[in-house]
């Protein structure tokens, strides 16, 4: 047994069910528990955090299931990054793992888990030491600053590990995968808040954050232009949602024929959106990693990937 196999065997993991098929209620229970934990973790702020300089990645937070400034600021980024690296290495025949066998799949998943843990630690350190999730500036130059940095790295590592294990729980005990669940939860939460929240907006305190309450408030205030914008946003969301559901349900039948059996053919149904959101997730994770390394290299005095002014990219 190699060193890697020995490490994989000793990695902590979530035990799978003993029965072959779980009941619907059992899967629903564990999926609900993980979903509630995900929302709770997203509301736990990082202890000792100063100014959050990761606002430039807010557009990626939904896709990466990350809540920047909370204990799950890393989101599913490390898991997706590890998957990308291993898929590329295996596709280039560098790792040479046979994914058609049970042992090959098990070893691939073990290496992916091990690599995910390493990336969690590396990204946590990058987030903190590059200044993205750094302690308050008042502590700069004191011994407490370094201590707070280490505490922040530990919290981010802990949150990343929790996401990793919750993904395992959903995969073994719930519906689908944890990655898809976390993304769906983030999107649903964002839509719910932006559509129905009655709380005041930070940009315009006189009106609600949600588009639907704001629509009626603008109508009551005699502002048809902004009311029309709110109505257009709601209608556009409904149209996009309907198109996505319809396209997801579409099937394309591919005609297949057999050379050895003449005159016999079948039609093989494939989903119209076969890849789902996987390409979007992969590109988003890649963009986030490139920008993270760009900021880190800039802080080290080697801006070979570009420079940033505040939270905005300036070159590169």
| Domain range summary for the chain, segments of one domain joined by + | 24-178+277-315, 211-271
Does domain 24-178+277-315 fall under CATH 2.40.30.10? My reply is no
- Token couple for 166: 């919750």
Residues 304, 42: Cα–Cα separation, whole Å: 34
Distances (CA, A) of 72 to 2, 38, 43, 145, 208: 33, 8, 9, 22, 28
How far is C-alpha 199 from the chain's CA centre?
26
Q: Above 70 in pLDDT, residue 55?
A: no
- Token couple for 10: 């000793």
Partners of 265 in the beta sheet? 257
Q: What are phi and psi of 200, to 5 degrees?
A: -65, 145
What is the percent of the chain with per-residue pLDDT over 70, rounded to a whole number?
A: 91
**pLDDT at residue 265 in the model:** 67
The structure tokens 């990350």 sit at 66
**Are 133 and 127 spatial neighbours (Cβ–Cβ below 8 Å)?**
yes
Instruction: Kindly give, in sequence order, each residue whose CB lies less than 8 Å from that of residue 6, ignoring residues fewer than 6 positions away.
Output: none
**pLDDT at residue 28 in the model:** 93
Q: Above 70 in pLDDT, residue 108?
A: yes
DSSP state of 200: B
- Beta strand 49-52 with 133-135 is antiparallel
Q: Above 90 in pLDDT, residue 44?
A: yes
Burial 201-233 (b: 16+ CB within 10 A, else e): eeeeeebbbbbbbbbebbeeeeeeebbeebbeb
- Beta strand 133-135 with 307-309 is unpaired
- Per-residue pLDDT averaged across 134-156, rounded? 87
Residues 314, 275: Cα–Cα separation, whole Å: 34
Range scoring the smallest mean pLDDT among 19-23, 232-236, 251-255, 285-289: 285-289
Q: How many CB atoms lie within 10 A of CB 128?
A: 25
Nearest residue to 173 via CA among 18, 40, 65, 277: 18
Residues 16, 228: Cα–Cα separation, whole Å: 52
Residues 284, 279: Cα–Cα separation, whole Å: 8
**pLDDT at residue 313 in the model:** 65
- Per-residue pLDDT averaged across 33-41, rounded? 94
- Per-residue pLDDT averaged across 137-160, rounded? 89
**pLDDT at residue 279 in the model:** 76
Strand positions, DSSP E, the chain: 49-52, 133-135, 251-257, 265-271, 307-309, 312-315
Nearest residue to 230 via CA among 196, 188, 189, 190: 196
Contacts 24+ apart (CB under 8 A), 103-108: 107/5, 107/8
**pLDDT at residue 38 in the model:** 94
- Per-residue pLDDT averaged across 77-93, rounded? 85
**pLDDT at residue 132 in the model:** 76
- Per-residue pLDDT averaged across 72-78, rounded? 90
Range ranked top by mean pLDDT from 2-11, 19-28, 265-274, 303-312:
19-28
Q: What is the pLDDT of residues 247-294, one digit of tens each?
A: 888 888 888 776 666 666 678 787 777 766 677 777 777 777 777 777
Q: Which residue has the higher pLDDT, 116 or 297?
A: 116
DSSP state of 55: G
Instruction: Kindly give, in sequence order, each residue whose CB lies less than 8 Å from that of residue 114, ignoring residues fewer than 6 positions away.
Output: 4, 7, 8, 11
**pLDDT at residue 41 in the model:** 94
């Amino acid at each position: 047994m190699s060193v890697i196999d020995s490490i994989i065997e000793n990695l902590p993991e979530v035990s799978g069910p003993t029965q072959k098929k779980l009941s619907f209620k059992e899967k629903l229970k564990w999926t609900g528990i993980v979903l509630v934990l995900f929302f709770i973790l997203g509301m736990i702020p990082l202890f000792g955090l100063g100014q959050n300089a990761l606002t430039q990645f807010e557009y990626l937070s939904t896709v990466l299931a990350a809540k920047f400034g909370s204990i799950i600021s890393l989101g599913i980024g490390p898991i997706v990054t590890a998957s990308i690296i291993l898929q590329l290495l295996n596709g280039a025949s560098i790792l040479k793992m046979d994914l058609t066998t049970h042992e090959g799949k098990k070893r691939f998943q073990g290496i992916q888990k091990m690599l995910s843990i390493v990336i969690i630690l590396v990204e946590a350190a990058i987030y903190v030491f590059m200044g993205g999730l750094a302690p308050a500036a008042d502590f700069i130059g004191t011994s407490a600053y370094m201590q707070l940095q280490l505490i922040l790295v530990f919290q981010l590592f802990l949150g990343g590990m929790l996401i990793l294990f919750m993904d395992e729980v959903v995969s073994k005990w719930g519906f689908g995968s944890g990655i898809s669940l976390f993304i769906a939860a983030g999107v649903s939460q964002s839509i719910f808040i932006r559509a129905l929240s009655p709380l005041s907006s930070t940009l315009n305190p006189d009106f609600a954050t949600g588009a639907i309450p704001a629509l009626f408030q603008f109508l009551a205030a005699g502002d048809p232009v902004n009311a029309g914008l709110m109505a257009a946003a709601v209608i556009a969301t409904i149209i996009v949602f309907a198109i996505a559901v319809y396209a997801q349900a579409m099937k394309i039948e591919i005609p297949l024929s057999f050379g050895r059996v003449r005159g016999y053919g079948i039609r093989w149904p494939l989903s119209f959106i076969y890849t789902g959101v996987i390409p979007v997730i992969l590109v988003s994770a890649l963009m986030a990693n490139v920008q993270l390394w760009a900021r880190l290299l800039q802080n080290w005095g080697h801006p070979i990937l570009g420079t940033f002014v505040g939270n905005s990219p300036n070159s590169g």
